[in-house]
Structure 1
Amino acid sequence: MASSSKPGRIYDVFLSFRGTDLRNNFLGHLYKALDKSGVYTFLDSEELRKGDEISPVLMKAIEQSCIAIIVFSEDYTSSQWCLEEVAKIMECKEQTDLTVLPVFYKVDPREVRGGRQSYGKALSKHESKFGKDSEKVKRWKKALFSAGSLSGWPLSDGDESELIQRIVKEISTHLDRSPLHVVKHPVGIDS
């Protein structure tokens, strides 16, 4: 396990995403690239043990992370889990200085901020379920607006592998990782 750059933090990165949209493609590649770079990343399918209660484990993992990457995709807001995650992430950003880095995966940041297109439709469904004046839905909208206003990486039809390398480089910079110096001919180390 890599040590985090902020005391009391367990994870270097928490990944928030809509599983059905991204788990087996972009997100899988991003997770592997981060792992290969020695970045200890919380990914629910890797870190959750069978029998764990999902919500408390996810909320605690967010609190114990140095950086949160939110991968906004077309169906992100259709998931109440994702909306709870983004609300918790933005709360931790304000309270504990969590670094938040958004990726806009085939969605426009204005859609995330303003609840347009698929985001607007999903939020309308949540409003009809919980009520238009629901504090929960208001909290989600505020969090989406704040997260969508952050500088991040847009990806519509570009090279995903190039974007992943830029993300890994940015994460390494945030974590202030520098390569260790190893002497040319180490003594006392078995091959």
Structure 2
Amino acid sequence: MASSSSSRQTKHQVCLSFTGEDTRLNFTSHILKPLKDTGINVFFDEDTLEKGDQLSLTFSQAIATSTLSIIVLSVNYASSKSCLAELSNIVDRKDTEGHIALPIFYRVDPSRLRNLTGRFKTSFDDHEPEKLDQVQQ
């Protein structure tokens, strides 16, 4: 039942990870539109999820079947357990399967995440330490 990364089929070319409260109606839509306009198949939860779908499982499958993930790191991104789970999954696939991870810092200084200060520190402190270790690598 296990399949290698070489035998998996790509369902989406890009998986878009973001927190909706910060970016869904503004920044993320500005990323999504040109990608779709050029024919790139993007996993975007609002377009792809159907009623009753389990968000974490659906995202995990989308990450597994895509070649690249765009992570929109915004002020509240780390406050979302589902976003951190997505990020952990993306980093794991990057390390084991060569998945490409493209972080975009939206109204966030990258040093806040790198040095874990401000809201990122508070949010990461509230989550599982092993997830934090994996993301920081």
Cα distance in 1, alignment partners of residues 79 and 66 from structure 2: 25
TM-score by length of 2: 0.89
Would you say 1:73 and 2:74 are equivalent positions? Answer: yes
2:135 corresponds, among 141, 144, 154, to 144
Total equivalences in the alignment: 131
Cα distance in 2, alignment partners of residues 22 and 143 from structure 1: 25
Which residue does 1:170 correspond to in 2?
A: none
Deviates more, 1:14-23 or 1:49-58: 49-58
Would you say 1:95 and 2:96 are equivalent positions? Answer: yes
Q: Structure 1: which 5+ residue stretches go unaligned?
A: 1-5, 128-136, 147-191
Q: CA deviation at 1:114?
A: 2.2
Would you say 1:16 and 2:17 are equivalent positions? Answer: yes
Q: Structure 2: which 5+ residue stretches go unaligned?
A: 1-6
TM-score by length of 1: 0.65
User: What code does the residue aligned with 1:74 have?
Assistant: V
Cα distance in 1, alignment partners of residues 72 and 134 from structure 2: 14
CA deviation vs aligned residue, 1:71-124 (integer Å, no higher than 9, x gap): 100111100000000000000001111011100111122211221111012223
CA deviation vs aligned residue, 1:160-181 (integer Å, no higher than 9, x gap): xxxxxxxxxxxxxxxxxxxxxx
Would you say 1:55 and 2:46 are equivalent positions? Answer: no
Does 1 or 2 have the higher relative contact order (CA < 8 Å, sep 6+)? 2
Q: Structure 1 vs Structure 2: percent identity of aligned residues?
A: 33
Moved segments of 4+, more than 6 Å: none
Cα distance in 1, alignment partners of residues 87 and 80 from structure 2: 11
CA deviation vs aligned residue, 1:29-52 (integer Å, no higher than 9, x gap): 111111001110000111011111
Structure with larger Rg: 1
Which residue does 2:47 correspond to in 1?
A: 46
